[in-house]
């Protein structure tokens, strides 16, 4: 799909083109967010709910989403935050949380997914809505890519990564509430959000699996490393499958 075509979407209009379904979804903050759903030609209900970074929109990540879906043999659902791309409104922390909640509920209601089918994945800024939702809902799994501990810790980094006065996007404090398995991915040479943020998030998470520290990777080239897709594939198809089987056995 031509990214310029996405910009021309009329509000509240849904259509299917080139195997990518496009929607506008209302949120509890009275905005309307643009969303896309892509299903590769495989029989699976496992779906990644993808939250992109600050400098992106759906037009910029649509190729990445298709690549992830095909490489990981999963469906993918991505959305733009309020005020991004063709989504209405203005960006804010509260609206961003409302955005992912609306996207998640639409994924369950419209596509018939269950909690155990959904993998939350957030890159950079997208780690904030991802951690927020994961702290409230138990899903199949969570992937945090190049995430941060809190907004002010990015601007005024401190070794202990404690929350500061008037801080926002307090990811580290919410990690302890996540009941799903979590994979943390971070480049060791990240110049935007230092690797120490990923390490602090990992330390705060009670259900983390072995992380992926990509030696020499920066902030925006993580996907270029072969180990990235290999590690994600193992997490989704092996570790989460084993965790799901264990949970079913314990509930029985």
pLDDT band at residue 12 under the 50/70/90 scheme: very low
Report how far apart, in Å, the C-alpha atoms of 180 and of each of 7, 199, 244 are.
35, 18, 10
Average pLDDT over residues 169-177: 95
pLDDT at res. 3: 35
CATH topology of domain 44-77+116-251: Rossmann fold (3.40.50)
Strand order in the sheet with 118-123: 15-17, 20-26, 32-38, 75-79, 47-51, 118-123, 141-145, 182-187, 212-214
Catalytic residues: 124, 190, 219
Domain map (residue ranges) of the chain: 44-77+116-251
pLDDT band at residue 243 under the 50/70/90 scheme: confident
* Beta bridge pairs of residue 23: 35
CB atoms within 10 A of CB 140: 23
pLDDT band at residue 252 under the 50/70/90 scheme: very low
Would the pTM of this model clear 0.85, i.e. be above it? yes
Q: pLDDT (tens digit, 9 = 90+) per residue, 22-34?
A: 999 999 999 999 9
Q: pLDDT (tens digit, 9 = 90+) per residue, 55-111?
A: 999 999 999 999 999 999 999 999 999 999 999 999 999 999 999 999 999 999 999
Pick the more confident residue, 17 or 179. Answer: 179
Average pLDDT over residues 38-51: 92
Q: Say whether pLDDT at 217 is over 50.
A: yes
Q: pLDDT (tens digit, 9 = 90+) per residue, 101-157?
A: 999 999 999 999 999 999 999 999 999 999 999 999 999 999 999 999 998 988 777
Cα distance between residue 157 and residue 85, in whole Å:
30
Farthest-apart Cα atoms in the chain, separation:
51
Q: Say whether pLDDT at 18 is over 80.
A: no
């Amino acid at each position: 799909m031509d990214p310029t075509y996405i910009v021309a979407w009329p509000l509240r209009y849904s259509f299917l083109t080139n195997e990518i379904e496009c929607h506008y979804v209302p949120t509890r903050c009275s905005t309307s967010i643009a969303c896309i759903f892509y299903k590769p030609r495989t029989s699976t209900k496992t779906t990644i709910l993808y939250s992109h970074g600050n400098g992106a929109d759906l037009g910029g990540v649509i190729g990445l989403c298709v690549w992830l879906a095909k490489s990981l043999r999963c469906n993918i659902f991505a959305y733009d935050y309020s005020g991004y791309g063709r989504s209405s409104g203005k960006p804010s922390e509260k609206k961003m949380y409302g955005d992912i909640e609306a996207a998640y509920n639409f994924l369950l209601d419209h596509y018939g997914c269950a909690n155990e089918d959904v993998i939350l994945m957030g890159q950079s800024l997208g780690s904030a809505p991802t951690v927020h939702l994961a702290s409230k809902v138990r899903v199949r799994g969570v992937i945090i890519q190049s995430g941060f501990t809190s907004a002010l810790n990015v601007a005024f980094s401190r070794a202990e990564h404690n929350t500061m006065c008037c801080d926002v996007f307090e990811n580290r404090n919410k990690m302890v509430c996540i009941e799903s398995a979590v994979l943390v991915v971070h480049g060791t040479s990240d110049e935007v959000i230092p690797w120490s943020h990923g390490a602090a998030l990992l330390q705060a998470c009670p259900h983390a699996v072995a992380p992926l520290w990509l030696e020499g990777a920066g902030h925006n080239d993580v996907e270029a490393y072969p180990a990235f897709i290999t590690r994600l594939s193992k997490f989704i198809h092996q570790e989460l499958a084993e965790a799901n089987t264990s949970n079913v056995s314990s509930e029985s």
